[in-house]
Structure 1
Amino acid sequence: MRTFWPRLKDDFQLSIITLVGLLAVVGVSPYAVFRLGEGSWLVGATDTFLVVSTLLAVVYAWRTGDTIRPGQFLALIYSTGAFLVSAKLGANGLFWMYVLILFNFFVVPPLQSLIATMSTLVAICVYGWLHPERVFESHYQMASFVVTCLLSGLFAFVFAHRARVQRRLLARQATIDPLTGIGNRRTMDAELDIAMADSKRYGIDFGLLVLDLDYFKQINDRFGHGIGDQVLVDFVDCVREVCRPSDRLFRLGGEEFVLLVPKADLNSLKAIAEHIQQRVRTQLLRPDGAPVTASIGGSLLRGHADRDGWLKHADECMYDAKRAGRDQTVIRPLAPNRAVAATEGPDYHQ
């Protein structure tokens, strides 16, 4: 129960599918019972199939975290159900088409929802045209139905498309550092958790580098924050030029960055760190022509029980590099039975 509400709040698609499941049980189940009771077997079976399929899709979404496939499955099932109910009940079944429009545009991507909705609308109209008075009492009624469905679909499409754009923007703002375009602390925490899980499952070792620009405060104080921001952007470019495609770079905060290196050992991790320092030293210059340097600390995942301890150990090594004179690399394995704690000491972010 502790994870139920957070997942609903954080995953919009999952919340919609769950809500649909609840509404299907509460709203459609009585119709299924009523239709079966009066002997309308086709419609009753259709309603029952919709309820069961919805519940299975909700369970699948919760168990796997995948909301795309359940949404597509339900869009197909509901579109088929809307057609069958309309063909069987006539005008009384057409009202479910408006529910289908709203569901499709909120659960599946706009183009897919447009295809599903328009296909169902065309199928109903063709069936109604071929079977006069079975679905529509007149061509005027069919035309009114088409116009209202198209208008409802248009409004739903615009709203759903805008909502998707805003959700993507919010998700990007929550996970990407706006200045440098790399992952932020939240993204880093998630990636480190994944790395630890992969290490336990597949035996892959990971390395972690904490990179801190030397005397960055002096750059901001002397040349302004605009120049300081540009130095950070250029620093990220330098690191990316050195990194492998599988390496992940994050901004921890201020002028401090973290590089996650998969399939690493002490020698390879040190080689990457020294390569980064050389590239930064030779390519990244202050406005007065002085080189920008970085102090780097590193640690392997092996021996750490959690990501916070792993990160603290690498951060301690970075502070040791600062104490050693800056523009240095300190990488060491975790000593046996050593508790990793945050280091309190002088401010080396100068």
Structure 2
Amino acid sequence: MHNLWMRLKDDFQLSIITLVGLCALIGISPYIVYRLLEGSLLVGIVDAFMVGSTALAVLYAWRTGNTLRPGQFLAIVYSAGACLVTIKLGVNGLFWFYTLILFNFFVVPPLQSAMATLSALFIICIYGYLNPDVVFESHYQMTSFFVTSLIASFFAAVFAYRGRRQREQLIELAALDPLTRVGNRRAMDTELDIAFAEHHRDETRYGLLVLDLDRFKDVNDRYGHKAGDQILIDFTRIIRENCRQSDRFFRMGGEEFVLLLPKLSREGLETAANQLRSRVAEQLKSPGGSVTVSIGGSMLNHHSSVEAWMHEADLCLYQAKDAGRNKHVICPLSDIESHHQSTPKQARRH
């Protein structure tokens, strides 16, 4: 139960889909019985189809984590259902259209929700215009319904768009380092867990590089933190310019960074580390001259955990620092289980 609650808290779209499912079950199910007892067989069948479709969509969203497709499916089902119910029940069916507006704009992207909602609105109004007194009592009533639906759709679209943008910004802030705009420690932990799972499931090869700027504290102490921040920004740019689009770059903290490289061999990891170290030495400058980087690396192999993998790369970084800095050390594949005792991490910095 705790895991279910956490998923609902962390995934807004999933929570909306689930809430819609509960509302459909509680709000529409009684109408199925009422319509059938009343003799409105078609409307009862439509209501039952909507409830069943909602249940399937919610189940799909929970099982796959994909909320976009269920939302699109339900937007189509509900829009078609609103049209059929309105055509069959007349003015009494129009009240459900405002619920449809809210659902569409909060579950699917703005353009798609606008297309589904406006399509349903035009179908209802065209049918009402061609069949006087079936849906609307007068053209004035139809015009009022059309205008109020457009206004409601406009406000729903504005609020849904703003809410979607704010959620995207919050997600971005939660996953990015504010200074360098690369992934932060939280994003790194997530990506490393994914890589570890993919490796053990599909044997996808992953390499890991831990990069630490040499004597960075001296730069901060001598030239100030503003100069230090600029070095970190420039360093990030250099790394991004010299790695693949599929590589993921993170700032672990301070002047220490992590680069995750998928689908390459140990030789490829060695080449990447050497190239990055050389580019940094050539291009990264401080007010006092060049700034270098030390790099430790490890291929994901038979490690027992992400922490063991990271620990091994960190040990290699210590060796690079101990060898005189501006070096890179990649752990040999045969040494994966050989370094389980390490010098404390704080002892090797700078």
- Quickly name the TM-score band, shorter chain normalised: over 0.9
Residue type matched to 2:149 in 1? C
1:293 paired to 2:292: yes
1:318 paired to 2:317: yes
CA–CA separation in structure 2 for the residues paired with 1:341 and 1:171: 37
Conserved in 2, the CA contact under 8 Å of 1:216 and 1:349?
no
Conserved in 2, the CA contact under 8 Å of 1:175 and 1:184?
yes
CA–CA separation in structure 1 for the residues paired with 2:112 and 2:253: 40
Conserved in 1, the CA contact under 8 Å of 2:312 and 2:331?
no
- CA drift at 1:178: 2.1
1:124-176 deviation line (CA, Å, top 9, x unaligned): 11111111111111122112211211111111111001001101101111112
CA–CA separation in structure 2 for the residues paired with 1:262 and 1:162: 36
Conserved in 1, the CA contact under 8 Å of 2:68 and 2:108?
yes
Conserved in 2, the CA contact under 8 Å of 1:309 and 1:341?
no
CA–CA separation in structure 1 for the residues paired with 2:111 and 2:39: 38
Conserved in 2, the CA contact under 8 Å of 1:312 and 1:341?
no
- CA drift at 1:282: 1.1
Query: SS where residue 3 of structure 1 aligns?
Result: helix
1:147 paired to 2:147: yes
Change (3 A) 1:98 1:346: closer
1:256 paired to 2:256: yes
Matching residue of 2:330: 331
Conserved in 1, the CA contact under 8 Å of 2:207 and 2:299?
yes
Greater shift, 233-242 or 70-79, is seen at 233-242
CA–CA separation in structure 1 for the residues paired with 2:266 and 2:73: 48
Residue type matched to 2:314 in 1? D
Change (3 A) 1:148 1:232: same
Change (3 A) 1:342 1:2: farther
1:254-280 deviation line (CA, Å, top 9, x unaligned): 111111122333332222111111111
Matching residue of 1:305: 304
TM-score normalised by structure 2 residue count: 0.95
Conserved in 2, the CA contact under 8 Å of 1:313 and 1:341?
no
> What's the C-alpha RMSD, in Å, of the aligned pairs?
1.6
Matching residue of 1:135: 135
CA–CA separation in structure 1 for the residues paired with 2:169 and 2:244: 27
Change (3 A) 1:230 1:44: same
Conserved in 1, the CA contact under 8 Å of 2:312 and 2:336?
no
- CA drift at 1:249: 1.3
1:194-236 deviation line (CA, Å, top 9, x unaligned): 2222222332221111000011111112112121111111111
Matching residue of 1:224: 224
Change (3 A) 1:336 1:210: closer
State the identity as a percent: 58
Q: Which runs of 5+ in 2 are unaligned?
A: none
CA–CA separation in structure 2 for the residues paired with 1:121 and 1:342: 68
TM-score normalised by structure 1 residue count: 0.95
* Moved >6 Å (runs of 4+): none
- CA drift at 1:40: 0.6
Residue type matched to 2:305 in 1? D
1:247-305 deviation line (CA, Å, top 9, x unaligned): 221111111111112233333222211111111111111112x2101111111111212
Matching residue of 1:9: 9
Query: SS where residue 183 of structure 1 aligns?
Result: coil
Query: SS where residue 279 of structure 2 aligns?
Result: helix
CA–CA separation in structure 2 for the residues paired with 1:89 and 1:302: 65
1:205 paired to 2:205: yes
Conserved in 1, the CA contact under 8 Å of 2:303 and 2:336?
no
- CA drift at 1:245: 2.4
Matching residue of 1:186: 186
- CA drift at 1:340: 4.0
CA–CA separation in structure 2 for the residues paired with 1:341 and 1:74: 56
